[in-house]
């Protein structure tokens, strides 16, 4: 075999390998792919694995098969001034009658009916909260979506960047529509999950109408704050309410203190009166007993009784050295000193 033949075979092998490399392509588990021929899709979307295409004529357009994220900027939204009931029974009945007239397949009718039952159930389970003023708030939300139809996605959107921009507008519109019928206590309570599900259903409904080839799998409201002006007025109102409550509490405390003091003073007066009464009774009984004892002693020994009484009089009268007595010499007061003269 001459050198030229060897070179031709080698070049042929290289060309074959190159053409084969251009004809074969792989789709990752995290991807979806479409084969385009002169810009037009050919066949169905390619699933993960190894696939073939015509080299140089056909090209592969890949799409992310994972869940993607769209995160709009926080926006100012006006919430409802009161809870607005959302009744849909008449509309649902009309839609079902229209579907029946149009000979819609039973599976689609059942699917729509179950979806509406789920919506009505979530709305009916929502608690009622009222008495909230309609004020603007700052709402920060995000959504998670996935590409379910790469062909339709390519026709309507083309790229993930354009899809995110379109979804931001749809998400903001749905958020405004739902929060316009929602009060602030509802948004800040456990009912937030119902609100987010309502937003997700609205966004998916709009996506299906526009045939964008994507599906929203989750919507979350991560933050709902008052605006700066509303926060200031709210703080002032809270301070005013707290001051009013403190004044009321102090007034009740002072009133209660006066009641306690009055009750204590009354009990003190009654206690002192009862004690004084009992003391007078005991004192009277003691005086009575003393008089009786003195009388008995006087009847037994009058001379000794007189002597004791005189000694008690001396003790009480002469106890103070400054005491001066002016008596006549024959006074009976000092009769027991006559023997000492």
Calculate the average pLDDT of the chain.
Answer: 76
Q: Are residues 101 and 209 in the same domain?
A: yes
Most confident of 57-61, 276-280, 317-321: 276-280
Q: Are residues 76 and 212 in the same domain?
A: yes
pLDDT digits (tens, 9 = 90+) for 182-214: 877 777 778 888 889 999 999 999 999 988 888
Q: Determine the average pLDDT of the residues in 123-133.
A: 42
Q: Does any domain span residue 243?
A: no
CA gap 306, 336 in Å, rounded: 10
Q: Does any domain span residue 252?
A: no
pLDDT of residue 269: 92
Q: Are residues 139 and 151 in the same domain?
A: yes
Q: Are residues 80 and 213 in the same domain?
A: yes
pLDDT of residue 338: 62
Q: Are residues 73 and 53 in the same domain?
A: no
Q: Does any domain span residue 212?
A: yes
Q: Grade residue 94 by pLDDT with cuts at 50, 70 and 90.
A: very low
Q: Does any domain span residue 247?
A: no
pLDDT of residue 260: 94
Asked which of 195, 217, 234 is the last residue of a domain, the reply is 234
Q: Are residues 209 and 263 in the same domain?
A: no
Percent of the chain with pLDDT over 70: 76
Domain count, the chain: 3
Q: Does any domain span residue 34?
A: yes
pLDDT of residue 257: 94
Q: Are residues 285 and 181 in the same domain?
A: no
pLDDT digits (tens, 9 = 90+) for 232-271: 777 888 899 899 999 999 999 999 999 999 999 999 999 9
pLDDT of residue 258: 93
Q: Grade residue 101 by pLDDT with cuts at 50, 70 and 90.
A: very low
Q: Are residues 200 and 268 in the same domain?
A: no
Q: Of the given ranges (19-23, 38-42, 54-58, 125-129), which has the lowest mean pLDDT?
A: 125-129
Q: Does any domain span residue 245?
A: no
Q: Grade residue 22 by pLDDT with cuts at 50, 70 and 90.
A: low
When comparing pLDDT for 260 and 116, which is higher? 260
Q: Are residues 229 and 313 in the same domain?
A: no
Q: Are residues 114 and 178 in the same domain?
A: yes
Residue span of the structural domain in which 175 resides: 68-234
Q: Does any domain span residue 33?
A: yes
Q: Are residues 34 and 119 in the same domain?
A: no
pLDDT of residue 323: 73
CATH number, domain of 91, equals 3.30.479.30
Q: Are residues 280 and 331 in the same domain?
A: yes
Q: Grade residue 118 by pLDDT with cuts at 50, 70 and 90.
A: low
Q: Does any domain span residue 246?
A: no
Asked which of 27, 44, 64 is the last residue of a domain, the reply is 64
Q: Determine the average pLDDT of the residues in 283-289.
A: 89
């Amino acid at each position: 075999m001459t050198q030229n033949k060897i070179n031709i075979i080698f070049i042929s092998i290289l060309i074959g390998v190159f053409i084969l490399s251009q004809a074969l392509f792989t789709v990752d588990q995290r991807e979806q792919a479409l084969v385009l021929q002169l810009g037009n899709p050919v066949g169905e979307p390619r699933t993960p694995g190894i696939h073939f295409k015509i080299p140089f004529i056909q090209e592969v357009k890949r799409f992310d098969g994972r869940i993607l994220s769209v995160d709009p900027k926080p926006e100012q939204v006006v919430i409802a001034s009161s809870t607005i009931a959302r009744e849909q029974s008449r509309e649902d009945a009309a839609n079902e009658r229209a579907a029946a007239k149009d000979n819609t397949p039973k599976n689609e009718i059942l699917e729509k009916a179950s979806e509406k039952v789920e919506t009505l159930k979530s709305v009916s389970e929502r608690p009622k909260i009222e008495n909230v003023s309609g004020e603007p708030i700052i709402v920060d939300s995000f959504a998670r979506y996935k590409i379910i139809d790469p062909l339709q996605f390519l026709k309507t959107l083309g790229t993930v960047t354009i899809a995110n921009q379109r979804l931001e507008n749809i998400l903001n519109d749905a958020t405004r529509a739902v929060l316009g019928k929602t009060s602030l206590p509802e948004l800040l309570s456990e009912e937030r999950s119902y609100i987010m599900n309502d937003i997700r259903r609205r966004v998916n409904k709009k996506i299906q109408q526009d045939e964008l080839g994507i599906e929203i799998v989750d919507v979350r409201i991560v933050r709902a704050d008052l605006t700066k002006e509303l926060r200031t007025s709210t703080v002032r109102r809270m301070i005013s309410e707290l001051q009013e409550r403190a004044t009321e509490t102090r007034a009740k405390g002072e009133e209660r203190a006066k009641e306690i003091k009055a009750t204590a003073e009354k009990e003190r007066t009654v206690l002192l009166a009862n004690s004084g009464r009992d003391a007078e009774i005991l004192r009277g009984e003691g005086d009575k007993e003393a008089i009786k004892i003195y009388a008995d002693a006087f009847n037994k020994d009058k001379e000794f009784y007189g002597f004791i009484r005189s000694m008690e009089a001396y003790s009480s009268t002469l106890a103070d050295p400054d005491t001066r007595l002016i008596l006549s010499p024959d006074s009976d007061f000092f009769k027991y000193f006559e023997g000492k003269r």
